[in-house]
Each structure stands twice: as structure tokens, then as C-alpha cells.
Structure 1
Amino acid sequence: MLINGPPGATYDYMLDYMDEIEARLLPLRERGEIERILVRAPRGWGAIENFNGGFVIVNLSDWGSRRAAWPIMNEIRARLADLPGVQAFPVMPQGFGGGGSMDQSMQFVLGGGTYDQLAEWRDTLIEHIRQDNPRLLNLDSDYEENQPQLRVDIDYTRAADLGVTVSEIGSTLETLLGGRTVTRYVDDGQEYDVILEAERGSRPSPRSLDSIMVRSSRSGELVPLSSMVTLTDFAGPSTLNRYNRLRAVTIQANLADGYSMGEALDYLETTADDILPAEVQTDVKGDARDYKEASSATTFLLVLGVVVVFLVLAGQFESFVHPLVIMFTVPLAMIGALLGLGLSGQSLNTYSQVGLVMLVGLAAKNGILIVEFANQLRDAGHAFHEALFEAAVTRLRPIVMTAVTTMAGAIPLIVSSGAGAETRLVLGTVILCGLASATLFTLFVVPVAYDLLARRTGSPGAVARQLDREMAEHPSEQR
């Protein structure tokens, strides 16, 4: 859970709110739905700390002793919605791909132009989303131009006359208003930083320049900084980000329960094209980028699977026509799978795409049974239509038996519960509905396709068998 305070908020300010957030989450722990709560402020793992931010890691209890994660996250969002002074964004890390990132799941990047233009485009897009799409939650961006800052202007002539250097002014302000590492010491093999800073209780205000003294190297006397330094307040961005070498602003959001990443990406890309200028360049990062890359890879695998199955069948049947007839079952399975996903309220995600790849081989099996048996009957001397009709009738039972067996194996995936049940449900729905559709329509589509395309074809090895018969009938001609 990400916690953002107002720009310029101090550590002490955030600490009070982090304690309040922890107190609001404790009832969930007392109910046994939360196992552990880790609260940290400031936010940041490296040398740069975000003092006006923090985060909370909530470890849920075992699946059997709690509700699903989405209802718990919605309750947490409701408990923290009226918390004044900070913004709290519950985030559910992705199971794979994102690596447990604390960022919000949707990160949509606007690039190009100046930062002022980017801020204007950001405001336009966010305002439109808030009015048009309530399924994108906790809208925010990584560009905040209202960070309170102080500009220090030094009168270099006056400082030189007083015998004070710029480095002395800088180190004095750093030490008294912040702190600086002056050395390290070693204890039991561990190194510790020695930080020189003013006592927090008596630390001077940046505006109290009269109380901040620096020693003159010329006279040896203490000189107030106010005699050579002026301060100017201004608000500006805390960071200036770039993405793919362009100035960029990232719009972040969480997805509502049941709102898929693919739907959100399509909406954002379409909306940005409609309401933003043509010079705006859009991209995604984080979990959204992982999703796009995974979808592209799955689409490639789906096409590759169709091609490989077709080539293998072409080698087995020694023909390109028979595999083409068999592959008519694949679109039938895909249509049934997509209808099943739509009717059950499921989305086309990575798991469903994996199921579609599996359907390529499972659906082709039905066509193979009919085409292969029809070829055998034609070799045995049956007329074309007679062989085709008998193949469809005779192969009905094995097609139904194998299909029902496979579909029965998908039922446990659909009715399962517990951790990961949502992913198994999607996979089972694709297999069950896809095979049901392929089995139902194969007996109609494959015979028609065979009649239209394969009338002038023979079975594998037909030419070799004809040659053997001719040689057997005319043995004298072999000499």
C-alpha cells in the first residue's frame, strides 16, 4: 500500500499518519484475515528517501481463514478513504512478471513536448478518466510541480568582502538545516556513518538566517548569513523524469475488481488518441508493459502452434489439402472459448491465451479422426460421398468419447476453490467451451470442407499403393 503525503511533508508529519493507518488496519488483524502489517516511512530503498511518502506491506492470512484478496483490499480502501492529509493507494502485486513491485498496476506514459505541456495533457486525460471511467482507481502521476522549495541567492561580492567562501556557506546550511556525513567508524567489523547535524529541537528555521552564523576567514568573527544570502520561495517539480529518452509523465492507477489489464489499456490508448494532440507519444511500463509483452509472445506462440500443427499434419497426410480441412476445427474452438469467456464474465488474459494455445492441438484431433478414416474408406473402394458419410457416422462415438473425457478433466479447474482459483477457472472455461464448440460443429464443418476441397486428393501413400498394384498385375513387365 502506497502512502503519499503533501509535497514538502516531513518525516514527523508522515509518522503520525502511518501510526493512524496502522491503527485502522488492526481490526482486520484481530479478525484473523491479516497475518502481519509492516509500516515504513520514509519510502525508499536507496540513498534517496521520499520523506513525504511511506508504504505498508500487508501479509494476508492463510486462504482457508480469510476472504478473497479483492474484498479485503476494497475494505482497506474504504477504511482509509476519509483519512485527511495523506493519500493511501492499496496495491495488489501481480503473481508473476511484476516481481512484487509496489507501483500501481497501470502505468501509462505520456511523452514529448515540454514539462508544462505534459502537465497540461496529464490534467486533461485524468479529468476525462475521472468523469468517464470509474473502474480506474486512485489516479495519480509522478510529476508534481507544487513541491515547496527555497532558492538560495548569494551576494558573492559581499561574501568575498566578509571573507566567507561559497563552500563554507553551503556546508553551513547543509549541516544546520539537514545533516552531512563527515566520517565513518568501525565497530566489530561494521562501518557506521558519523552524521553531523543540529539538534532537532533547536534546529534553526531556514528563514532565521540571523541565527545562522558562519566564521569569517578574514576577521575570525561570526557573521550572520542574512548579510550575504537571500532566500526566495518557489514551487517546482521534485523530479523531472524521462522515458525512452523523452520528457515523460506517468499516469498511475489501480484497476477495479473484474476490470482486466487489456480492457484498461485499450481504453487509455483510445482515449489518448481521441482527446490529446497528435504530437503526444504514449507508452506503458511496469505491469502494463509486462502484460503487453506477454500478450505479444502468446499471440506469436498461437500462430506458431497453428503453423507447426499444420506442417506436421502435412507430413503425415502427404498433402496440404487434408491438413487445411482439419484446421477448420481450430476457429470453431476459438469461437466457443471466447463465447464461454464472455458469458461467464471472464477476461482475455494471459491464462486464457495459454488455454487458446492448448486448444489448437486438442481441437485438431476431431478433424484428424474424420479425415483419416474417410481416406481409408476411399482406398478400400468406397465412393467419395459414401466414404465421407460413413466416416462422419463411424467416428462420432470416438470423437464424443475423447471430447467428453477431456472436458470432464477441465471441470475440476472450473469448480476449484482456494488460492489461484481465478486463474484455474479461466483456463478450465477456455478448454471446456472450446472443445464443446469444436465437437459440436466439427461433424458439420469438416465433412463440408472435405467435400469442397479434398475431392481430387488421395490418402497418404495412395500413389505408392497404386504402383504396387500395377506391378503385381504385370509382373512380366518388371523384367
Structure 2
Amino acid sequence: ALSIPVSLTGALAIIWLLGFSVNILTLLALVLATGMIVDDAIVVSENIQRRRAMGLGARAAAVIGTREVFFAVIATTAVLASVFIPIAFLPSTAGRLFREFGGVLAGSVIISSFVALSLVPALTARLPVKSQKANKRSLFDATLGRLGHYCLQFYKTTLVWSLKYAWLVLVLCLLAAGGAYFTSQSIENELLPSEDRGTIRIFARGPDGVGRNFMDRQAMRMESLLMPYVESEEIASIYTVVGSWDPNIVFITADLKHWDEREKSVQEIIGEIRPKLQSVPGAPGNAFGGNSLNLRGQSGGLELALTGDTYERIYDAALIYAAAIEEQMPELGAPRISYKPTQPQLRVNIDRRRADELGVPLSDISSTLRAAIGGNDIIDLNIGDQAIPIILQTNDRNTSDPSDLTNLYVKSDNGSLIPLSSVAYITEEGVAAELERQAQRRAIKLDMSMPEDITINDAVTKLRNIGDDVLPEGIGTIFLGEAQAYEETSQQVAMTYILAFVIVFLVLAAQFESVNSAVVVMLTVPFGIAAAIYALYLTNTSINVYSQIGLVMLIGLLAKNAILLVEFADQLRDRGYDVYEAIVEAGKVRLRPIMMTLVSTILGGLPLILSSGAGAEARNAIGWVVFGGLGIAVIFTLYLTPVIYLGLARFTKPRADETRQLEDELAAAEV
């Protein structure tokens, strides 16, 4: 128990040294670390107590017991650290998530290993030995002892049966893994789980040029849709901004009551008001909730951009694309196109041929128009330490109307004044208020509503398929905001799994000095991932960035339990045991520490499952992977690992034989 505060204090120091802040990711790491940092201490103290029960003195048991598990503790720590530290350098959202979460967790585990190998033996050696007789033990101790004895006998019997029918165990495990693959196809894939963060946001954009008064009236309509929830005490307050950064935009924030003081969730309220908001004339609104990483755009929906050579061609394609989306995916609503050629603009058209005939330079026409419209900055007048700009500008009364521009005069080359109407005329046209670019190409954005019952994976896949069918050649598609982060994260997480497997395998091979033992440990990891898939399916949890973090962490945890078995079996083989006897004895001896570390780790993840409040859905996701995945995966560790070890270890010699052979060869070389 003393190892927990010591290790957590070191973890806080690591957060400070690495420059991390106390946020949802570092707090998640600390919660999970609470269950994991005690694992090494359990392994060391359990082995010391086992040696003391065999009759050794306190100090001798502490030395010998720690020495026996020293390699296992170092190996498991190296595996857990090696999973997270290299992955933290990946780019994109996945790398940023793993950087803080993995850095804190890896640092905590490293500190806990030092505590387990130093503080724990020192304290255990000074604990008094209980000399009570069996009949004087408490009822609880006696019951617990009998239960442990029955569990050990049951495991020994089933382990012997599993090794006898190894082919059947392999077939059952392969069937379970295959079933997990097909099960994963029915699990929703998304970037982040749907979260109730106690806030609803509403975004609405009106047509160009309608002004604040129109948008203010539409904002009042939207507020009236929220008032019933205020009266029912679901919504605590409403804050509305009209035309703050754009006169055609309304942004409303509605703060809900505390989770314990309301009956409806954010998702339920959004589902009720979204159809009503989208029916607001002239400025349909979109309601959305927040997420823990603030990845959603300003409008809160699904955003993408079409790219091409000209804005006119992209706009034509956007109209076709939007119509196809509205027809084939009506649940997304009518897509909103950012490019709207409705902004009124005056264009001065110059008759270059006529201007040349009259001897009017184009530069003089340009400077005259600048002076009439905005002023022409001629020179700066320096007075002391101040620079005063001298601006040439016409009287406002001469240009009170756009048609007055044609009444201006321009000086020709021969000195005569020529009316501007002789060489130019004014037309009014509609243009886009702004021109956007994405990936250094001309682009037009489209944004749609994102209902809570649609995953971002399904939406992105369907939108890509629609684009492939209706978009003309030369028009590209770029997803933005949350969809862009989802695509980047999906690619990075796939690389993360591969990198984690490779790094763990290399670390194990170096630690064991044997590829065979490393292969035995790593072959059980995919089956543990399968167990986590079943846990996600049974709890109706999606595959998202948080559950993926848990799956990566599970690689290290599964390898950790397998190391305890394989490492002790290798020790027994060095003492002269054959492969079968070694793995059976290793299973019997390591059952208790494996189960104890299992209980401590899954109990460490239990607060994440039971948590409530803002962002609880994200914590639940990673908690179920650790709690359910590790709980189911222990079956593979206890039975599949011995079967694989029995099948592969018989083809290799014990490490002691290799060492003796090396010593003999070196001795022969010296002679």
C-alpha cells in the first residue's frame, strides 16, 4: 500500500518535469496508474512471503524472493514503457493524446518498479512473522485460505487437461479470435464517443446582406424553442450572440442543469429541438454538444471542402453534391455551402480601346477612383517623431451615390479633362463574401448537421461514395474538423498497433535473450485484444480514440502477465525441470500474483466505469477496455500461454545450457 503514494508522488513530479498540465488525459493516466503501480509491489511481496512460508528468515526471504522476480519486474516495466514512449512521437491527434497519457503512465510504472525492488523488500523484511496456528486463524482468513486452495487445485487440474488437449485449446482460442473479428465489424467506429458535457450550442447563418436586425429576430425564434426547457428546469441559462464577428451569424450557448437535477440528456434535447431549428426561415440553425477534445468546428457539424481549378466550377459541383447528399442522406439535413455569390458588388468596367483613343492612362483612372472611394495615400509628413499620412480624397458630397463615380473627370495626355463616363461604366453583380483555399487549392466548404445516432465513420464513408458517383473529374474532397481528425487518427492508430507490437517484441527478445520466449509472450497478445473486443461489444461501447488508447495499453498489460509465467518457467528449466514440469509448476506458483495484479488493475479502472458528469462517456470507454478486456484476457494468459510455451520451448535449450556451452567454448579458446 505504501508503494501507491510514493509512486503517485513521483508521477506528479514527472508531469511537472515534462511540462504537462493537469487535464483529462493526465488524470486518466493517474487513475489507471493507481491500479498498475501496485502490480510490481504485489509480485515482489508475494514472492517474498512465499519464501518466508517455506521457512526462510525475513532478510533471506527478502533477498532471494526479490532476486527471483527481479528480471520479471524489469521486463514488465520495460514492456509497458516501450509501448508508450516511442508512440508519443507520432504526429496528429493520436500522437498528442498518447504523448501526455503515455508519458505519465510510463513514468509512473518506471518509478513503481524502483519502489518495488527497493522499498518493498526493505519493509517486508521487517514485518513480523505470524506464528498463529491454523485453528486460531479468523474465520475470514480460513475461508479465504480454503478458497485460494480450491482455486489453485481447480487451475492445476484444468491446466493439466489443457496441456493434454493442447490442439483443442488452440482451436477454441482461434475460434474466439475469429469471432472477435466478425464482432468488431458490428461495433461502431467514431473519433470520440457521444458526450453529455452539460452544454448545447446552436449555430445559424443567414443570407449575405440581411443584417443584424433580421438575424436578431431569428435568434429570438430560436430562444423561444429553448424556453420550454428553461421552464421545466432542464436548461439553466441561455447566452446569445448576434452579429458579433459577422452580422449574418447567430451563436447561442445553453447551459444545462447539473446531471443529477435533470431527466433529459444533452443528446435527447438536441434530438428534440434540431428539426425545429432547421425549420427557422432564412437562418436554419444547427444544435450540437461539445466533446472533450474540442475538435468540432464552429457550426458543430460535419465539414468538408471541395477543391478544383475555378470557384465557378467548384460551385457548380457543390450544388450537385449538396443535392445528392440531401437526397441520399436526409438525416444530415440540407448541406450549407460557404460560397454564396450573393454579396452585392460594384464593378467599374473600363473601355481600354476608348481610353487609348482619348489618351487617358489606366493608372490615372485607378488613382482617381481610389481618391473618390477610399482615399489615395500620397506621402507621409514627418513632424518631429511623428509621421502624418497625407491622403488625397474627394468630397463625400461628390460621390454620395455609386452613379456619381461616372461624373468624375480624368486628365488626358493633352491636358484636357475627360468624363469618366466616356471611358468606363458601372455594373452591379453578386460575388462571394470570401474566397477560401484548402491544401493550397481553391476550395468551397460544405457543412452538415451530425445527428447523434450516426457515427462519423459511417458518415464519412457514405459521403465519399456519393462524391465518387456525382462529382466531376478534377474536383477533390477534403474532410475538415472532426472528420479530418478521425481519418488522421485512424491511420495513425493502425501504425500505433504495429509499432507497439514490434517494440514490445524487440524488448522481450533482448530481455529474455531468446526469440522463442518473446514469441510465446507475443502470441497471446492478439487473443487478449480479441477479449477486449468482446468487452466493447457486450457493453455497447464504440471503438473510439479512448478505447484505442486502452487497447494499446492492453498490449503491455497482457505481455506483463505472460512474462510472469514464461520467465519463471525458464528459471525452472535452468534448474533441470523438463518443459512440461516447468510450465505446470510456473502456472501453480504464478497464479496468485497474476490474479492479484489482475484484481488491482481492473479495480483501478473501475472508477472510470462508475464515473459520471462531464466527459464520463470517454472515461467509460477506456475503463471498459481495461476492466472487461483484461478480465476476459486472463483466461488466455493462464491457459493459452502454457500451451504455446509447451509447443515451442521443447525446440530450444535452457538458458543455463547455453551459458555453460559458452563458458566451455571460452575456456577451450584460452587453452
The answer to whether 1:376 aligns with 2:376 is: no
Displacement of 1:167 in angstroms is 5.8
Distance 1:215 1:137, change over 3 A: closer
TM-score of the aligned structures, taking structure 1 as reference length: 0.75
SS in 2 for 1:85: coil
Which one is further off, 25-34 or 327-336?
25-34
Partner in structure 2 of residue 81 of structure 1 = 278
Distance 1:357 1:146, change over 3 A: same
The answer to whether 1:132 aligns with 2:333 is: no
Distance 1:461 1:135, change over 3 A: farther
The residue identity in structure 2 corresponding to 1:40 is: V
More helix by share: 2
- Give structure 1 stretches of 5+ with no counterpart: 44-49, 176-195, 219-223
Which residues in structure 2 correspond to 1:104-115 (within 5 Å)? 104-115=300-311
Which one is further off, 351-360 or 282-291?
282-291
- Tell me which of 19, 23, 29 is aligned to 2:220: 19
Partner in structure 2 of residue 188 of structure 1 = none
**Aligned equivalents of 2:489 and 2:574: distance in 1?**
46
The answer to whether 1:451 aligns with 2:646 is: yes
Distance 1:418 1:235, change over 3 A: same
Q: Is the 8 A contact 1:355 1:430 kept in 2?
A: yes
Displacement of 1:321 in angstroms is 1.5
- Provide Cα deviations, 1:341-388, integer angstroms capped at 9, x if missing partner: 334333222111111111011111232122123223322323323333
Q: Is the 8 A contact 1:310 1:324 kept in 2?
A: yes
Partner in structure 2 of residue 309 of structure 1 = 504
The residue identity in structure 1 corresponding to 2:624 is: T
Partner in structure 2 of residue 184 of structure 1 = none
SS in 2 for 1:3: strand
Aligned-CA RMSD value = 4.3
- Provide Cα deviations, 1:65-95, integer angstroms capped at 9, x if missing partner: 4443323333442442331121212243443
Displacement of 1:19 in angstroms is 3.4
**Aligned equivalents of 2:271 and 2:400: distance in 1?**
44
Q: Which runs of 4+ in 1 moved over 6 A?
A: 154-158, 196-199, 203-206, 211-218, 224-229
Displacement of 1:424 in angstroms is 0.9
Distance 1:141 1:393, change over 3 A: farther
The answer to whether 1:386 aligns with 2:587 is: no
The residue identity in structure 2 corresponding to 1:430 is: V
Distance 1:81 1:266, change over 3 A: closer
Q: Is the 8 A contact 1:403 1:436 kept in 2?
A: yes
- Tell me which of 222, 232, 237 is aligned to 1:35: 237
**Aligned equivalents of 2:608 and 2:251: distance in 1?**
34
**Aligned equivalents of 1:411 and 1:138: distance in 2?**
43
Partner in structure 2 of residue 141 of structure 1 = 337
Which residues in structure 2 correspond to 1:426-437 (within 5 Å)? 426-437=621-632
**Aligned equivalents of 1:105 and 1:462: distance in 2?**
65
Distance 1:76 1:307, change over 3 A: same
Displacement of 1:29 in angstroms is 4.1
Q: Is the 8 A contact 1:169 1:214 kept in 2?
A: no
TM-score of the aligned structures, taking structure 2 as reference length: 0.56
Q: Is the 8 A contact 2:278 2:286 kept in 1?
A: no
- Provide Cα deviations, 1:54-75, integer angstroms capped at 9, x if missing partner: 1314151453344433233334
**Aligned equivalents of 1:458 and 1:57: distance in 2?**
71
Matched-pair identity in %: 34
The residue identity in structure 1 corresponding to 2:336 is: D
Q: Which has the higher contact order (CA 8 A, sep 6+)?
A: 2
**Aligned equivalents of 1:25 and 1:228: distance in 2?**
58
SS in 2 for 1:282: strand
Distance 1:17 1:217, change over 3 A: same
- Tell me which of 221, 244, 249 is aligned to 2:439: 244
**Aligned equivalents of 1:146 and 1:460: distance in 2?**
80
- Provide Cα deviations, 1:273-306, integer angstroms capped at 9, x if missing partner: 4544554333222233333334444444433333
Q: Is the 8 A contact 2:508 2:518 kept in 1?
A: yes
Displacement of 1:2 in angstroms is 2.3
Distance 1:276 1:395, change over 3 A: farther
**Aligned equivalents of 1:135 and 1:392: distance in 2?**
55
Partner in structure 2 of residue 4 of structure 1 = 205
Distance 1:166 1:365, change over 3 A: closer
SS in 1 for 2:216: helix
Partner in structure 1 of residue 64 of structure 2 = none
**Aligned equivalents of 1:429 and 1:42: distance in 2?**
43
Partner in structure 1 of residue 52 of structure 2 = none
Distance 1:119 1:426, change over 3 A: same
Distance 1:284 1:228, change over 3 A: same
Q: Is the 8 A contact 1:63 1:419 kept in 2?
A: no
Q: Is the 8 A contact 2:554 2:630 kept in 1?
A: yes
SS in 2 for 1:369: helix
Q: Is the 8 A contact 1:316 1:460 kept in 2?
A: no
- Provide Cα deviations, 1:437-473, integer angstroms capped at 9, x if missing partner: 32122334323322333222244454335778x89xx
The answer to whether 1:413 aligns with 2:608 is: yes
**Aligned equivalents of 1:9 and 1:445: distance in 2?**
70
Distance 1:72 1:452, change over 3 A: same
